[in-house]
Amino acid sequence: MSREPIISIRDLGVRYDSTVALMHVNLDIYADDFIAIIGPNGGGKSSLVKAIMGVVDYSGSIDYSPSIMRANHPHIGYLPQVSTFDKEFPISVVEVVMSGLQSEKSLWRGYGKEERRRAEEVLQLAQLSHLANRPIGELSGGQLQRVMLCRAIISNPKVLVLDEPANFVDNRFENELYNLLQQLSERMAIIMVSHDLGTVSSVVRSIVCVNRHVHRHDSNIITEEQLLNYDCPIQLVSHGNVPHTVLHHHDDCPHCKH
C-alpha cells in the first residue's frame, strides 16, 4: 500500500534576479520522515526550506496535505540557525516558549493557564523545567537553542524545519538536541539542514542532496560514489573515530579548522 505525501513538490524553481538557486525540483515528504538536507554552500538548501515554508517566491507547485493545514496555511514549526531573539529583553523562558502560540490567540488576549501548561509540558520534554522562570538573558547558547526549539513545537506542528540547529553549540548540547529530535520524530515530520552528516546520520532516516537539483536518498547511509551520482560535491571524512561530512568551501565546521 503506497503512502500519501504530506508535502508534494513538483518542478520547483527558485530564482534571485539572474541567479538560479533551484530548478526542476521534485520531492515528496511523508508524515514519518526525518530528513537531513545536505549539499554545498550556495547549492540551494535554504531556498528549498524557504519554499516549503512559503516565504520565498517560486515557480512550479507545492501541495500540502489537508492533515498539515491550519487556518488555510501549512502548520510548520521552524528553528533558525541562529536565534534573533533579543536576550536583553526582560522576558522569562516560559514566556518565550508561550510566544510560539501567538498565532492561536487574539491580538488583545494574554496568555492564560492553558498556554502556560503547554509551555511547561514542552519545557519538561526538553529537560528545561528548572529554567521556566529564568530571564532569557541568563541562558547559555545551548539552553537558548533548546528554548527556541520548545517555542517552535509548542503549537504541535505536523512538520518541523531546522536550519543547522547544532551550529555554534557544544557537543553536550548536540547530544541532547538529537535525543530530543528523535523523540519528536515519532509525532511530526522533521526536515533538518546539516553540514555534518556523520553526526546526524545516526538519527535521520533519509538524506536529501541539494545542489540546484534535488535527489532523495531513502537511507541514512550514503557513499561518496552515491554523492557523486547525485552531483553533491561533499566529502565524507573521519576525525578519529567520528566520521562526518565536510562541505567543499565550508569554513564554519569546527572539526575542519585544524
Question: Which amino acid, 224?
Answer: E
Residues of the chain with pLDDT under 50: 1, 238-258
Q: String of b and e for 126-156 (b: at least 16 CB within 10 Å)?
A: bebeebbeeebeebeebbbbbbbbbbbbbbe
Look at residue 64 in the predicted model and tell me its pLDDT: 98
pLDDT at 181: 92
Q: What is the pTM of this model?
A: 0.86
Tally the C-alpha atoms within 13 A of residue 251's C-alpha that lie toward its C-beta: 0
C-alpha cell at 44: 540551494
